[in-house]
Structure 1
Amino acid sequence: MTHSPDASVTVLGLGAMGRALASAFVHAGLSTTVWNRSVGKDTELVDAGAQRATTVADAAATGGLVIVCLLNHASIHEVLDPAAHELRGRAVVNLTSTTPEEARELAAWAADHGIDYLDGGIMATPDMIGGPHASILYSGSTHVFEEHRQTLELLGTAEYFGDDAGLAALCDFALLAGMYIMFAGFYHGAAMVRSAGMSAKDFAGRAEAWLTTVAGSFAEHAVRMDSGDYSTSDEQTLVFTKSAVDAIVRASRDGGVAPHVIGPVKALVDQQVADGHGMEAFERIYEGLITGQESDR
């Protein structure tokens, strides 16, 4: 069962993302109550039809689904702990960025207070919310997800990972780790070519095409990683990779670029070669990432 589009919702936290979430609900015609610790951030929302709550307890008393979008794990407790009684029996969806263990702690806290808890990881920027490219990952209460899915899908595509409240955050952070490292790699490359007078904008066109192409090989790499078999008959061994990465580090330094981004990759490759895996495939550095040391495979 899903709620109809005229369901009510409360949004706690009106930073850039919180305002985007609340705006999507308001424009969809939902009865939307908003609260923020500092004043003034709700003006446009209230003008558009949202109801202002002056306290969290007042916001919680309005009924409906409660969406929490705050700064961090600590701020969630600061805001929700005093209102735990008012939230008893309610469905709470946390869209604050929290670690998997923090999400599990919040789920346990919610259970202790009779609160039905769903955790979420937002795979979108504020301007994407409500659009076709926004995606939000969820885990925790199956009941909350199924009961409120129609409302949640007003924000973006909703994907459910199961009743372990930490799974959505885990996948969210894993994807963001890849994103940040990709951008850092782009910034490193742009810094390298700047020494030859190429602008970051000119480099961006080349980098986007190249990275899009090589990203198509992720699935192929994943097969090797899942199998644990890194034997290879081609020339792209770790010894070959080490030579290439060493040269990139030298070229970076020659161009006045610090090896902060490429350096950790070099360290992973160097360790694998030193441990006797030089004739195996590059994907084997994955094993060196498991708890920062060699896995049992």
Structure 2
Amino acid sequence: MRDDGKKITVLGLGAMGAAIARAWLGAGYEVTVWNRTASRAEPLAAEGAAVAATAREAVDAGGLVVVCLLDDDSVEVVLDGAELRGKDLVNITTSTPGQARERAAWVEGRGARYLDGGIMAVPPMIGVPDSGAYVFYSGSSELFAAHRDALAVPAATRYVGVDPGSAALHDVALLSAMTGMFAGVSHAFALMREGARGTEAAPREFAALLIEWLTAMAPYANGVATHLETGDYTLGVTSNLAMMVEGNGTLLRTAEEQGVSPELLSPFMALMERRLAAGHGDEGTTGVIDLLLR
């Protein structure tokens, strides 16, 4: 029989798992915790958590079971000896979409309902009102509906469908965009590192300019969405691909003058050139997406 009360088990007490368990404790939930290194449970025990000696004992404690471990392989190892039949299991361990789908089948084959999660936050944001933290969830809609209130305690929730891999896909897509932004920021600071010495463009002052510019450019994503939805990659384009590829020459020459490697920019520029060579100079950069699909 499923327990929809205020009992929660947390398996894995790294920085994220501990922060999540602490948020539920602070909200008055009855929390049972387990960690392979038992000493990590001691601070939570002092705050009122029950500490299980084994993962199986923690799962048996009843209520919602939340797994926050190192990787997908760890999830199988930890849960292999546990009785999952009749349980509701939420896996917020970072994984790929494919791994999430396989884990869902593995868990459901043992008689449990499964929900996968992708956390869009760092531990200090967990349990903090208005921090902007949220978690993508996908998988069993019934499980999500039953535990929606509990899941919303550590961070806001965004349910993205019954496909168990959808949360991981959303997570990785956003992180991939972030990684690209980090690459651009790194290149920009490298350009300014020499040029800023002895000038007014100190790193912190340049950071303010960079944040302002990137914020202004962020709606670019809306234009890409319009192109993909309509199939017209020229719609609303102000700086077309031909102009941008021409402008890339200035970016590359500046990098050379400043003694900065262009390796963070070159792959994207090469894709732009390929799309231009195929006769799409009047488009924006959306066509690069077509080149990435294989």
Give TM-score, length-normalised by structure 1.
0.91
User: Any residues of structure 2 matched to 1:89-128 within 5 Å, and which?
Assistant: 89-128=86-125
Task: Call closer, same or farther: CA 1:12–1:235 in 2, change over 3 Å.
Answer: closer
Task: Call closer, same or farther: CA 1:119–1:193 in 2, change over 3 Å.
Answer: same
Percent identical among aligned pairs is: 41
Q: Secondary structure of the equivalent of 1:87?
A: coil
Instruction: Supply the distance in 1 between the matched residues of 2:235 and 2:79 (Cα, whole angstroms).
Output: 54
Checking the alignment, whether the CA contact within 8 Å between 2:237 and 2:283 is kept in structure 1 is no
Deviating more after overlay: 74-83 vs 272-281: 272-281
User: Are residue 173 (structure 1) and residue 172 (structure 2) matched?
Assistant: yes
Instruction: Supply the distance in 1 between the matched residues of 2:53 and 2:14 (Cα, whole angstroms).
Output: 16
Deviating more after overlay: 224-233 vs 156-165: 224-233
Checking the alignment, whether the CA contact within 8 Å between 1:12 and 1:68 is kept in structure 2 is yes
The corresponding residue for 2:228 is 225
- Deviation track 1:214-269 (CA, whole Å, cap 9, x = no partner) reads 11232123201322212368662211111112321221232222222211111111
User: Any residues of structure 2 matched to 1:50-199 within 5 Å, and which?
Assistant: 50-83=49-82, 86-131=83-128, 132=130, 133-196=132-195, 197=197, 198-199=201-202
Instruction: Supply the distance in 1 between the matched residues of 2:122 and 2:93 (Cα, whole angstroms).
Output: 13
Checking the alignment, whether the CA contact within 8 Å between 1:90 and 1:115 is kept in structure 2 is yes
Aligned-partner residue type, residue 178 of structure 1: A
User: Are residue 246 (structure 1) and residue 249 (structure 2) matched?
Assistant: yes
Instruction: Supply the distance in 2 between the matched residues of 1:43 and 1:181 (Cα, whole angstroms).
Output: 39
User: Any residues of structure 2 matched to 1:239-278 within 5 Å, and which?
Assistant: 239-278=242-281
Checking the alignment, whether the CA contact within 8 Å between 1:13 and 1:37 is kept in structure 2 is yes
Structure 1: 5+ residue runs without aligned partners? Answer: 292-297
Deviation at 1:281, TM superposition (A): 2.2
Checking the alignment, whether the CA contact within 8 Å between 2:116 and 2:164 is kept in structure 1 is yes
* TM-align CA RMSD: 1.7
- Deviation track 1:41-100 (CA, whole Å, cap 9, x = no partner) reads 1221111111111210111110010100111111111111222xx222100000011111
- Deviation track 1:106-136 (CA, whole Å, cap 9, x = no partner) reads 0100111101110011111111112221111
Instruction: Supply the distance in 1 between the matched residues of 2:51 and 2:236 (Cα, whole angstroms).
Output: 65
Checking the alignment, whether the CA contact within 8 Å between 2:242 and 2:282 is kept in structure 1 is yes
Structure 2: 5+ residue runs without aligned partners? Answer: none
The corresponding residue for 1:280 is 283
Instruction: Supply the distance in 1 between the matched residues of 2:153 and 2:259 (Cα, whole angstroms).
Output: 48
The corresponding residue for 1:294 is none
